[in-house]
Amino acid sequence: MRPWPFRNGSIRNVQRSPPHQTWTLTDGHAGNVRQARALADALRLPTRDIVLAPRLPWKWAAPRALPSSHAAFGHSFEALLDDPSLASTLVIGCGRQAALATRLLRERGARAVQVLDPRISTRHWDAVIAPEHDRLQGGNVLTLLGSVNPVTDAWLGASRAAFASFADLPRPRTAMLIGGPTTNLRMRRPDLDRWLRTVRARSEE
């Protein structure tokens, strides 16, 4: 089972020589972390996870570069820009803030993959992975049905073993994956009950 059904594109551009490590860069939001980490895990290389702390005014403009963009994420990120291992590093970003970070790191020698449409020219990255509904096109664009995720046969097998008691539930069964609450969406018990009623009604149609 392939983790993600790519519609088109290739990652030839980021395979000039095998990288020795990957860095994931995100704003810390769960949806962005999950996608960047899933791609890094699939590559099976030593991985460093970096949570960015964007600063104004660069935060407003990202991924567009303003003067002194090297200072956009503070001193710790500035140090990364001078890291001697960049030439052997593949950086993976997800989200608008990360798009600026991966763009800057690529300018310093790293190879860069950006997940989700950066909303500017894709030429600033070696590869861009975007969902099909974004309708993003380009020679370095990989179009994906759905989102990058860690769901593989092995992942499903481990989950099946962890929740073996579910095998006793009546069939057919419907699984619904729900993310956690965010700053933009609160999740309360009434919300969950409403969603479950909707799923139950659909399954009975």
The three-point CA angle 66-31-72 to 5° equals 20
Using CA atoms, how far apart are residues 26 and 120, in angstroms rounded to an integer?
A: 18
Tell me whether the omega of the peptide bond preceding residue 19 falls within 30 degrees of 0, making it cis: no
Share of the chain above pLDDT 70, in %: 92
Q: What is the pLDDT of residue 16?
A: 56
Q: Boundaries of CATH 3.40.50 in the chain? A: 6-144
pLDDT beneath 50, residues of the chain: 1-6, 9-15
6-144 carries CATH number 3.30.2010 = no
Name residues whose C-beta falls within 8 Å of residue 55's C-beta, 6 or more positions apart in sequence.
Answer: 71, 72, 73, 74
Phi, psi for residue 147 in degrees, rounded to 5: -130, 160
Q: Which of 49, 40, 37, 50 is nearest to 19 (CA)?
A: 40
Using CA atoms, how far apart are residues 31 and 83, in angstroms rounded to an integer?
A: 28
For residues 180 and 187, is the Cβ–Cβ distance under 8 A? yes
Name residues whose C-beta falls within 8 Å of residue 37's C-beta, 6 or more positions apart in sequence.
Answer: 24, 47, 49, 150
Distance of CA 110 to the CA centre of its chain: 18
Q: Which of 58, 50, 62 is nearest to 25 (CA)?
A: 50
Q: What is the pLDDT of residue 2?
A: 43
- Please state, rounded to an integer, the average pLDDT across all residues of the chain: 87
Tell me whether the omega of the peptide bond preceding residue 172 falls within 30 degrees of 0, making it cis: yes
**Which residues does residue 112 pair with via DSSP β-bridges, in sequence order?**
91
Phi, psi for residue 95 in degrees, rounded to 5: 105, 165
Q: What is the pLDDT of residue 11?
A: 43
Tracing tokens 């309708």 back to the chain, one arrives at 135
Q: What is the pLDDT of residue 14?
A: 44
Tracing tokens 């479950």 back to the chain, one arrives at 196
pTM: 0.79
Using CA atoms, how far apart are residues 138 and 127, in angstroms rounded to an integer?
A: 9
Q: And the tokens for 151?
A: 């769901």
